[in-house]
């Protein structure tokens, strides 16, 4: 059973489940056959459905097929350093005579980011994740890198970024991962990052705007703006403007803006319904840390929606996502009270590597990776209630 689970084949609640004594195998050229150990016979047809199957695609990234001294084929997963005689592609078989596809839920609330990407080869894709040295950004960057993408960790602190790169390389020494300096609290640094990125002459298929601060005391950045607003929204806004041409050249490309449900608990309009600019970067006397965070997250969504409207005709989509509530990252470190609250909530919230969650309506969302990978007409849940 452990071997089945490892190869991604343990969700056997379907008609495909084999009777006792049967085993599913593959030929080198990708056909599935069935071995009956009781009667010591093999056949091409599934013993219950009578269907013939073949595997759909190559081995997952990081896997290799090898042959043992008895001539039996086995499979090595270099990333997780495991070996199995079960062909991992059996999780992705197709009928020889395909009938109408049936909808089947593949993920649930305990699905990890790594599981969502299982079987995908992202070689050739270039991904930038801001604030990727910790928390959600790190898990996202790692999952992309362990599936073949060239991942750039855009971080303000190079020591922490290099340590994150080493952690990823420790899991898969061939991962294509590097760190670059990006301080969103300094518009000059955003410019430098964009210049350095363009100098690499690579495409940009996925840009994950993830970095954020939360619960900070009031401070101004060197650019003269309130820090939460600049780091969480304006810095990313500027970054996307500077990289827009590369994104368009790399189409189909995606921007994923990591927002939050807490955007609901604020407003950026004044009493007459007009945008109140003083609320975006407030003075010290008008500042409340929680409100500043919520407003920056509302800006994330408004920005993402408008970006999608403008760039989707050119093959660049944008989605704002909510990753989950009070996940125990480093986000709360601005004030001990928030640390206490996050600690108390910890047993009831998602861990960093859990990518999926159920929303209040019971629908399943796999926010960051879903927005990054699914077809370009994919609609994020936020779009459904913000008619912008």
Ligand X SMILES: NC(=O)c1ccc[n+]([C@@H]2O[C@H](COP(=O)([O-])OP(=O)(O)OC[C@H]3O[C@@H](n4cnc5c(N)ncnc54)[C@H](OP(=O)(O)O)[C@@H]3O)[C@@H](O)[C@H]2O)c1
Q: Which residues bind ligand X (CB under 6 A)?
A: 130-131, 133-137, 155-157, 160, 182-185, 210-213, 231, 258, 260, 322-327, 329-331
Smallest distance, Å, CB 36 to ligand X? 50
**Residue-wise burial string across 52-78, b where 16 or more C-beta atoms lie within 10 A, e elsewhere:** bbebeeebbbbbeeeeeeeeeeebbbe
Q: What distance in Å separates the CA atoms of residue 3 and residue 86, rounded to the nearest whole number? A: 7
Task: Please say which residue, 2 or 360, places its beta carbon nearer to ligand X.
Answer: 360
Task: Please say which residue, 32 or 257, places its beta carbon nearer to ligand X.
Answer: 257
138-141 long-range Cβ contacts below 8 angstroms, 24+ apart = 138/164, 138/167, 138/352, 139/113, 139/352, 139/353, 139/355, 140/113, 140/208, 140/210, 140/368, 140/369, 141/168, 141/177
Position closest to ligand X via CB: 135
Q: What distance in Å separates the CA atoms of residue 122 and residue 61, rounded to the nearest whole number? A: 8
DSSP state of 226: B
| Alpha-carbon separation of residue 52 from 88, 94, 103, 245, 297 (angstroms) | 18, 9, 20, 47, 50
What is the length of the chain?
388
Q: What distance in Å separates the CA atoms of residue 365 and residue 355, rounded to the nearest whole number? A: 8
Smallest distance, Å, CB 135 to ligand X? 2
> Which residues face 267 on adjacent strands?
none
Smallest distance, Å, CB 258 to ligand X? 4
Task: Please say which residue, 32 or 184, places its beta carbon nearer to ligand X.
Answer: 184
Marked catalytic residue, from 6, 293, 328, 361: 293
Smallest distance, Å, CB 111 to ligand X? 18
Task: Please say which residue, 316 or 331, places its beta carbon nearer to ligand X.
Answer: 331
**Residue-wise burial string across 308-337, b where 16 or more C-beta atoms lie within 10 A, e elsewhere:** beebeeeebbbbbbbbbebbbbebbebeee
Smallest distance, Å, CB 118 to ligand X? 23
Task: Please say which residue, 79 or 132, places its beta carbon nearer to ligand X.
Answer: 132
> Which residues face 73 on adjacent strands?
67
> Which residues face 357 on adjacent strands?
365
Q: What are phi and psi of 127, to 5 degrees?
A: -125, 135
Is 293 one of the catalytic residues?
yes
Q: What distance in Å separates the CA atoms of residue 207 and residue 372, rounded to the nearest whole number? A: 8
| Alpha-carbon separation of residue 140 from 124, 217, 353 (angstroms) | 17, 28, 8
Smallest distance, Å, CB 386 to ligand X? 17
Task: Please say which residue, 45 or 261, places its beta carbon nearer to ligand X.
Answer: 261
Smallest distance, Å, CB 364 to ligand X? 18
Task: Please say which residue, 91 or 128, places its beta carbon nearer to ligand X.
Answer: 128
> Which residues face 155 on adjacent strands?
181
Catalytic positions, please? Answer: 293
């Amino acid at each position: 059973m452990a071997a089945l689970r490892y190869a991604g084949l343990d969700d056997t609640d379907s008609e495909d489940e084999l009777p006792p004594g049967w085993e599913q195998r593959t030929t080198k050229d990708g056909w599935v056959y069935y071995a009956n150990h009781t009667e010591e016979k093999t056949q091409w047809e599934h013993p219950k459905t009578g269907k013939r199957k073949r595997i759909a695609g190559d081995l997952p990234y990081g896997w290799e097929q090898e042959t043992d001294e008895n001539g039996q084929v086995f499979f090595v997963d270099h990333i997780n350093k495991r070996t199995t005689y079960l062909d991992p592609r059996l999780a992705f078989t197709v009928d020889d005579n395909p009938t109408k596809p049936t909808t089947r839920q593949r993920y649930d609330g305990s699905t990890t980011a790594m599981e969502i990407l299982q079987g995908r080869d992202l070689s050739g894709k270039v991904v930038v994740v801001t604030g990727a040295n910790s928390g959600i950004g790190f898990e996202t960057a790692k999952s992309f890198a362990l599936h073949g993408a060239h991942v750039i960790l855009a971080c303000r602190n190079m020591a922490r970024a290099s340590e994150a790169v080493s952690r990823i390389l420790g899991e898969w020494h061939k991962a294509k991962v590097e760190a670059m300096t990006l301080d969103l609290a300094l518009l000059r640094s955003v410019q430098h990052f964009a210049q350095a990125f363009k100098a690499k002459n690579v495409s940009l298929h996925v840009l994950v705007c993830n970095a954020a601060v939360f619960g900070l005391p009031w401070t101004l950045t060197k650019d003269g703006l309130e820090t939460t607003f600049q780091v969480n929204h304006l810095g990313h806004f500027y970054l996307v403007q500077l990289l827009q041409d590369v994104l368009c050249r790399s189409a189909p490309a995606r921007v994923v803006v990591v927002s939050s449900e807490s955007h609901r608990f604020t407003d950026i309009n004044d009493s007459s319904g007009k945008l109140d600019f003083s609320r975006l970067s407030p003075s010290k006397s008008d500042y409340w840390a929680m409100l500043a965070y919520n407003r920056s997250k509302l800006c994330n969504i408004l920005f993402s929606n408008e970006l999608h409207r403008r760039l989707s005709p050119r093959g660049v989509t944008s989605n704002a996502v909510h990753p989950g509530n009070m996940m125990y990252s480093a986000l709360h470190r601005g004030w001990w009270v928030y640390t206490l609250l996050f600690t108390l909530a910890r047993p009831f919230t998602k861990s960093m590597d859990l990518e999926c969650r159920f929303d209040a309506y019971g629908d399943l969302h796999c926010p960051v990776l879903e927005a990054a990978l699914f077809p370009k007409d994919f609609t994020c849940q936020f779009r459904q209630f913000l008619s912008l």
